[in-house]
């Protein structure tokens, strides 16, 4: 009889988060591995599901394990798994395509209509001690990377994918503007630098976030004066960067930031919409069309975890300072309260899930 403890963090409904036991996973299927979860980060979407019970069309109608920024240790392997072994430390890519539809066969598994993604109903997440996952979506960590860093590879993969979509390339002299200095915005700015952007500036309405960005090595910051119009803000960006940005990575989801991105990005430049806004917004598409500004969307990431792991493992990018708070799984409610508090000063809150001896 399996005596392992499978303590889990479960959202039952709006404002109802509990730490409780869940059923242990069955034996992994042929191409699956069984994971002992080590560290899981709290994402804004996890907080959103907890506070609102839904995000857009995804509604929590029955209890669901939350969490999708995960590192883990492999404890069992399926009969046909050849790329991993028991004891390997991995960063877990939480979205798995069906791998049978044309979209997946074309390589766009993140756009698969039947994709399953941790902690998005009805798929359970990673904030539990044991769960099974596809071996193809578990990425080995180098020896010099911690589990805490491994759990940050999921949001870093978003940043890396955004930079790849923007076509940031070494030696091109590109000037990059990032709007929004939350966790993803900070990682996106750092990734842009690590991947070769010549100049990177980051904008936010929160002075403390910008101070943190400077401490992380993003020297050019701009505190947004919300009383200024788009043209005046654009002038400040140009003054800061020395020219219009070649690329803008919009990470806030704010309508005003998207309009600024369209207005200030150079003719023929790229605007990547990283931040999500599920409400309808009004933007100046005529400006983008007439100046051939390319508006590019992203859905999470694809083929981005290996590069994210390389950037951190090679020392090109340091993510450790982003981890501001750590909790044990038994303290999950406190962790979520900290992550959702505007006064706690949290950048990235992580929860350690492993069983203590």
Note the pLDDT tens digit of each residue in 105-120: 999 999 999 999 999 9
Judge whether 232 and 240 are in contact, CB under 8 Å.
Answer: no
Give the residue-averaged pLDDT of 46-50: 97
Residue 178 pLDDT > 80, yes or no? Answer: yes
Per-residue pLDDT at 279: 80
Per-residue pLDDT at 1: 55
Structural domains of the chain, with CATH: 7-152+319-352 (3.90.180.10), 158-297 (3.40.50.720)
How far is Cα 199 from Cα 182, in angstroms, rounded to an integer? 19
Note the pLDDT tens digit of each residue in 237-256: 999 999 999 999 999 999 99
Judge whether 272 and 250 are in contact, CB under 8 Å.
Answer: yes
Judge whether 92 and 116 are in contact, CB under 8 Å.
Answer: no
Give the residue-averaged pLDDT of 74-81: 98
171 or 204, which is more confident: 204
């Amino acid at each position: 009889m399996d005596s392992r403890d499978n303590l889990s963090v479960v959202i039952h409904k709006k404002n109802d988060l509990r730490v409780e036991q869940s059923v242990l996973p069955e034996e992994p299927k042929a191409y699956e591995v069984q994971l002992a979860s080590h560290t899981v980060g709290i994402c804004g979407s996890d907080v959103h599901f907890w506070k609102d019970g839904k995000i857009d069309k995804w509604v929590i109608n029955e209890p669901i394990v939350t969490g999708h920024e995960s590192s883990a240790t492999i404890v069992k392997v399926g009969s046909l798994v050849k790329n991993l072994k028991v004891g390997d430390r991995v960063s877990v890519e939480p979205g798995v395509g069906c791998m049978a539809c044309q979209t997946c066969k074309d390589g766009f598994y993140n756009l698969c209509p039947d994709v399953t993604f941790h902690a998005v109903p009805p798929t359970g997440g990673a904030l539990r001690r044991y769960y099974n996952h596809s071996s193809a979506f578990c990425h080995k960590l180098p020896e010099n990377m911690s589990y805490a860093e491994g759990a940050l590879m999921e949001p870093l993969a978003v940043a890396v994918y955004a930079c790849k979509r923007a076509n940031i390339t070494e030696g091109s002299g590109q000037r990059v503007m990032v709007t929004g200095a939350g966790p993803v915005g900070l990682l996106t700015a750092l990734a842009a630098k690590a991947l070769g952007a010549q100049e990177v500036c980051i904008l936010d309405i929160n002075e403390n976030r910008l101070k943190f960005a400077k401490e992380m090595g993003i020297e050019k910051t701009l505190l947004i004066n919300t009383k200024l119009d788009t043209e005046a803000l654009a002038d400040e960006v140009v003054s800061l960067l020395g020219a219009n940005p070649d690329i803008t990575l919009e990470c806030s989801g704010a309508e005003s930031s998207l309009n600024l991105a369209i207005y200030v990005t150079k003719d023929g430049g790229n605007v990547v919409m990283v931040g999500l806004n599920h409400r309808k917004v009004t933007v100046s598409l005529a400006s983008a069309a007439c100046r051939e500004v390319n508006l590019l969307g992203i859905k999470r990431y694809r083929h981005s975890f290996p590069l994210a792991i390389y950037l951190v493992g090679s020392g090109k990018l340091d993510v450790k300072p982003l981890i501001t708070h750590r909790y044990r799984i038994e303290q999950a409610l406190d962790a979520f309260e900290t992550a959702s508090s505007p006064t706690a000063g949290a950048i990235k809150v992580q929860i350690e899930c492993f069983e203590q001896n």
